[in-house]
Amino acid sequence: MNRQKLLGEEKISKLLIQFSVPAIIGMVVNTLYNIVDRMYIGNIPDIGGLALTGVGITMPIMTIIMAFGMLIGVGTSARISLKLGEHKREEAEHHLGNAFVLILITSVIITVMGLTFMNPILRLFGASPETEIYAAQYMQIIFLGTIFNMLSFGLNHSIRSDGNPKIAMFSMLIGAGTNIILDPIFIFLLGLGVRGGAIATVISQMASMTWILYYFTKGKGSIKITRQTMKLKKSIVISIFSIGMSPFAMQLAQSIVQVLANNSLKIYGGDLAIGAMTIISSISMIFMMPIFGLNQGSQPVIGYNYGAKQYHRVKEAMKILVIVATMIVSVGWVLIQFAPQLLIGVFGANQSLLEIAKTGLRIFLFMLPALGFQSISSNYFQSIGKAKISMFLSLLRQVILLIPCLIILPRIGGLGLMGVWLAGPVADGLASIITGIVFFHSVRQLNKAEENETQTFHTEKSLRA
When pLDDT is cut at 50, 70 and 90, the band that residue 465 belongs to is: low
* pLDDT value at residue 443: 87
When pLDDT is cut at 50, 70 and 90, the band that residue 318 belongs to is: very high
CB 325 within 8 A of CB 318: no
* pLDDT value at residue 78: 85
What are phi and psi for residue 334, nearest 5 degrees?
A: -60, -45
Classify burial at 129, counting beta carbons within 10 Å of its beta carbon; exposed 0-12, middle 13-18, buried 19 or more.
exposed
Report the 10 Å Cβ neighbour count for 111: 18
- In the DSSP assignment, the letter for residue 43 is T
Instruction: Measure Cα distances from 162 to 23, 92, 233, 377 in Å.
Output: 14, 9, 21, 23
Average pLDDT over every residue of 329-341: 94
Report the 10 Å Cβ neighbour count for 445: 10
Average pLDDT over every residue of 422-436: 95
Question: Is 464's pLDDT higher than 70?
Answer: no
* pLDDT value at residue 458: 57
* pLDDT value at residue 119: 95
Average pLDDT over every residue of 396-416: 90
Mean pLDDT over the full length of the chain: 88
Measured CA angle at 320 (ends 319, 321), to 5 deg:
95
Instruction: Measure Cα distances from 457 to 96, 309, 453 in Å.
Output: 35, 12, 6
* pLDDT value at residue 132: 93
* CA–CA separation, 57 and 291 (whole Å): 25
Closest CA to 215 of 156, 297, 296, 293: 156
Q: Which helix (H) or strand (E) holds 189?
A: none
Q: Would you give the distance in Å from CA 422 to the centre of its chain?
A: 23
* pLDDT value at residue 257: 83
CB 221 within 8 A of CB 86: no
Secondary structure, 3-state, 312-370: HHHHHHHHHHHHHHHHHHHHHHHHHHHCHHHHHHHHCCCHHHHHHHHHHHHHHCCCHHH
The one-letter code for the residue type at 352 is S
The one-letter code for the residue type at 341 is Q
CB 163 within 8 A of CB 6: yes
Instruction: Measure Cα distances from 328 to 234, 304, 310 in Å.
Output: 41, 26, 28
| pLDDT tens digits for range 253-301 | 778 888 988 999 999 998 889 989 988 988 998 899 889 889 888 888 8
Closest CA to 300 of 452, 112, 83: 83
Question: Is 216's pLDDT higher than 80?
Answer: yes
When pLDDT is cut at 50, 70 and 90, the band that residue 3 belongs to is: low
For residues 174-199, one letter each, b for 16 or more C-beta atoms within 10 angstroms of the residue's C-beta and e for the rest, the string is bbbbbbbebbbebbeeeebbbbbbbb
* CA–CA separation, 391 and 395 (whole Å): 6
Q: Indicate the range of 27-31, 306-310, 456-460 predicted with least confidence.
A: 456-460
Closest CA to 208 of 179, 249, 237: 179
| pLDDT tens digits for range 344-356 | 888 865 678 888 9
Length of the chain (residues): 465
* pLDDT value at residue 84: 79
When pLDDT is cut at 50, 70 and 90, the band that residue 310 belongs to is: confident
Average pLDDT over every residue of 188-193: 91
Question: What is the number of H-type helices and E-type strands within the chain?
Answer: 19, 0
Question: Is 428's pLDDT higher than 80?
Answer: yes
Q: Indicate the range of 139-148, 185-194, 392-401 predicted with least confidence.
A: 392-401
The residue among 255 and 336 whose pLDDT is bigger is: 336
* CA–CA separation, 323 and 289 (whole Å): 16
Report the 10 Å Cβ neighbour count for 418: 18
CB 232 within 8 A of CB 33: no
* pLDDT value at residue 397: 82
| Radius of gyration of the chain measured on its C-alpha atoms | 22
Query: In this prediction, what percent of the chain has a pLDDT beyond 70?
Result: 95
CB 391 within 8 A of CB 245: yes
Report the 10 Å Cβ neighbour count for 341: 10
* pLDDT value at residue 345: 83
Instruction: Tell me how far apart the terminal alpha carbons of the chain are, to the nearest angstrom.
Output: 31
